[in-house]
Amino acid sequence: MPTSDSEGKDWSLERFKQVRPDTVCDVGPGEGTYAKLFRPVYPGIWWTGVEAHRPYIAKFKLKSTKTRSMYDELHVEDVRDSEEHLFHRDLVIFGDLLEHVERDDAVALLQRAEAAGAWNILVSVPIVESLQGEVDGNPHEAHVHQWDADDMDAVLAGLGGKTEAMRGNTLGCWWWSRRG
């Protein structure tokens, strides 16, 4: 679904406040959960969104010419096809996204973000069985990989840097930083 469980959001917001990024890339924003939560804290930040499902743009007002948009820049594409420069941000958010792609693709996305120069990466994924198919005609909503928290720990450790984690009852959240 284009929504996210509230678990881990306060934890993520505290790390966001500590880092205070100038640029953010929100991958698969759905309804814009992280932009709604983080953007009011520091309104001058440049927000880029990468959304694969075009109908979400109007439905959730991700980009608008009439009102203040949630995203300053919005790319409608599968992030696996995105240009590397989109990952060169102070913060790249993979919030409730990596369960929607095969594990190898998820690992490759994290590695691409690190290699492109992301200073921080926020990951949030279900860490319990979370079966889900297509939602509202959006095939990108299907869960194709069930993450184990220990596996995500290992994947992020492989990037080097420093990782903090929060394991909840439903979601796990990780904040990776190249500032080790």
As beta bridge partners, residue 91 has: 24
Residue 1 maps to a domain: no
pLDDT at 1: 40
Lowest mean pLDDT among 41-45, 120-124, 126-130, 152-156: 126-130
The owner of tokens 């096809």 is: 81
Residue 101 maps to a domain: yes
pLDDT at 95: 93
Q: What are phi and psi of 113, to 5 degrees?
A: -60, -45
Average pLDDT, rounded, for the chain:
88
Cβ 142 vs Cβ 3: under 8 Å? no
Q: Round to whole Å and give the CA distance between 38 and 128.
A: 26
- Structural domain range at position 139: 9-177
pLDDT at 6: 77
- CATH number of the domain at 38, please: 3.40.50.150
**pLDDT surpasses 50 at 78:** yes
Residue 27 maps to a domain: yes
pLDDT at 91: 98
Q: How many residues does the chain have?
A: 180
Number of domains comprising the chain: 1
